[in-house]
Each structure stands twice: as C-alpha cells, then as structure tokens.
A = this chain, B = another copy of it.
Amino acid sequence: MDGMLVIISGPSGSGKGTVVKRLPSQNGYALSISVTTRKPREGELHGRDYFFTTEQDFITMRNENELLEHAVYVGNYYGTPRKYVEEQIAKGKIVVLEIEVYGALQVKEKFPSAVLIFLMPPTLPELANRLRTRGTEDAVTIDARLKKTLEEIPLINRYNYLVINDLVPSAVEKINAIVEAERMRPFRCMAEIEAFTESKTSQL
C-alpha cells in the first residue's frame, strides 16, 4: 500500500511540535527531513537530522523544483526535498511534515496528494495562555501572534482536515484516524484494485 505525506500545520502555539513528537513511530510514520545550508551542530547527522548542503546546491535544487517549500531563517536556507518524501511514500511510509500555515499551503500546491491538517487550539484565550506559559515571548509578541492566528483561520477551508487540539493524546488519535481513512483513498490503493482484477484468471 502506498504511503502518504501528512502535513501538520497550524498557528504558533497550536501544539504542532508536541503532537508530531507523539505520533507513534511503530505505525509507519517517518519525519520529513529538511535540507539546509546551515552548518551541522555537534551530534547532528546528515540524512537523519538534516541533509546538509551548500548554498549553490540549495539554489540548484530550488530552481529545479526539487523543493516542496523553502524559507530563510537566521541567514540560512531550509527546504523540504521532494525526492526524499517520494522515496519514503513509495516504501509505504507516512511522511510527517510540521510546518506553519503559509508553508503548508505552498507544499500542498506542489504536492496535491498531501494530507493537509490544520491543528487548532480549543479557544483563543487558551492559545494566549499557552503562549504565556511558554514564557519565550513578551506581551506585544503574543498579541501579534493571536492577531495572526485570526488571520489564518479563513485559510482552514483550503485544508483537508481540522483537528482541535484540546488534549494531545486525543489529537494524536484523531490524526491516526485521518491516516487510516486516507489509506483507503482509491488512488492510494491501485495495487489492491489491480490484485482484485487479476484474481479473476484463476476463477473465471
């Protein structure tokens, strides 16, 4: 059975990172690996943590449409390599990509069979609460994030699914149900359909 690309997206503070970490590795999930021009840090492995590359090679990849999305962060390029995603899908893996809203929509455009999941906190006050508890941002930044979240809400209708992240285990269970259902999409079951048609030779 074919695998698929699952994009877990949503506003800052929606809990993307926590949910993605909990997706059970035994279920055929595989995290997407980014390509980056950043230098490897101690302990980081090429092909496990990142694909490390030069700026020149990164630009070539981008120009040849080998990246599903890309962005600059603190002077370094980061991108999602199409080839790695496709190889994992061919092996039946559920490739998980955690990414913010606009990057997610960029990927969906380049990779239409991707399953696009919007993770939403239960309420705005709860989101504000989570951002405050995190303690990494000041009040002005938190206010800006909440306003940005409200701007992102109308984009939900370009997503395939909306998962309300009230409790992490429940959100993980919902994502598992989505993956189970998406495995039954006819276009992901071409091998099974062919096997059924082939089964006639022994019978008819």
Min CB gap A149→B, angstroms:
9
Q: For the complex, would chain A's binding face be called helix, strand, loop or mixed by DSSP majority?
A: helix
Min CB gap A125→B, angstroms:
4
On chain A, the number of residues with a Cβ less than 8 Å from chain B's Cβ atoms is 41
A146: Cβ under 8 A from any B Cβ: yes
Instruction: Give the contact stretch, choosing among A17-25, A30-38, A75-83, A157-165.
Output: A157-165
Indicate if the CB atoms of A159 and B186 lie closer than 8 Å.
yes
Note all chain B residues with C-beta closer than 8 A to A120.
196
Note all chain B residues with C-beta closer than 8 A to A128.
203
Note all chain B residues with C-beta closer than 8 A to A177.
177, 180-181
A204: Cβ under 8 A from any B Cβ: yes
In the complex, the chain B residue whose C-beta lies closest to that of A126 is B199
A182: Cβ under 8 A from any B Cβ: yes
Interface hits, A155-181 → B, CB 8 Å: 156-157, 159-164, 174, 177-178, 180-181
* Extra inter-chain contacts (18) besides given A123-B203, A178-B181, CB under 8 Å: A120-B196, A124-B196, A124-B199, A124-B203, A125-B203, A146-B200, A147-B204, A150-B197, A153-B193, A153-B196, A153-B197, A156-B193, A157-B186, A162-B184, A162-B189, A180-B181, A181-B181, A181-B182
- A residues near B (Cβ < 8 Å) are 118, 120, 122-125, 128, 143, 146-147, 150, 153, 156-157, 159-164, 174, 177-178, 180-182, 184-187, 189, 192-193, 195-197, 199-200, 202-204
Of all A-B residue pairs in the complex, the 5 with the closest CB atoms, nearest first, are A181-B181, A123-B199, A177-B180, A125-B203, A161-B184
